[in-house]
Amino acid sequence: YPYPNPTLGDHSVALGSLAGVLSVRPNVGVIWVDAHADINTPDTSNSGNMHGMPLGLLMNLVDPTTLHGCAWLNGIPTLKPEQVAYVGLRDLDDGERFVLRQMQEKGMFVSTMQHVDAHGIGGVMELALESLGRHGPRPLHLSYDIDALDPVHAPSTGTIVRGGLTFREAHYVAEAVAETGQLISMDMVEVNNELGKEDPTAGKRTTEMAMVLITSALG
């Protein structure tokens, strides 16, 4: 059975969860559900925030031994472009746009909310899973950032971007992954009940949303 990580922390926790998975399942496919690509490096990041760099580090776009506290990543199997499928992107740094174009040429599946608008979430998920299964079945890791949802449904998170997944679209993503029978691990991140307190119901609604999405992913 898949083992979801706790619903706390920012998306940098995926460094640990995915490094662990890669160490035993180096062919794992990653469905990255997020408003942001999180594929920066210190050279491309505008903010310097580590939660915007987990995929950049896991894909060895920068040598982890050159970054303070990241030397432990040395020796972890490198995540390859064809092992990653993005769903829900809508807020990208300029450096990330350049990197994503390169990664697409190497087999990475990259979809934005524009693709959801054009093809529906069912069509996007079909293409995402098809991309990850191009070379045969592989175990799956679902890395779900709550800010992939429109803030109407999940307001208590740190980097809100309007125009995200609806309640049903968010569930469909989790359900589609569950239906593969290949999910082995999951992150649910960026739930922060200390944010959005101007709405007294925000924290409770965001937490409940995260919990039901985990339930959907578990089938």
Catalytic annotation, residues: 11, 34, 36, 38, 51, 145, 147, 190
CB-neighbour burial class of residue 145 (10 A; exposed 0-12, middle 13-18, buried 19+): buried
| Residue 102 to residue 100: CA distance in whole angstroms | 5
CA nearest neighbour of 116 among 106, 128, 124, 127: 124
Show the tokens assigned to 49. Answer: 């925030």
Distance CA(163)–CA(146), nearest Å, equals 13
Is residue 189 within 8 Å of residue 175, measured between CB atoms? no
Measured distance CA(88)–CA(17) in Å, rounded? 21
> Can you read off the two tokens belonging to residue 97?
């746009």
Three-state DSSP state, 31:
strand
H, E, C per residue of 140-172: EEEEEEHHHECCCCCCCCCCCCCCCECHHHHHH
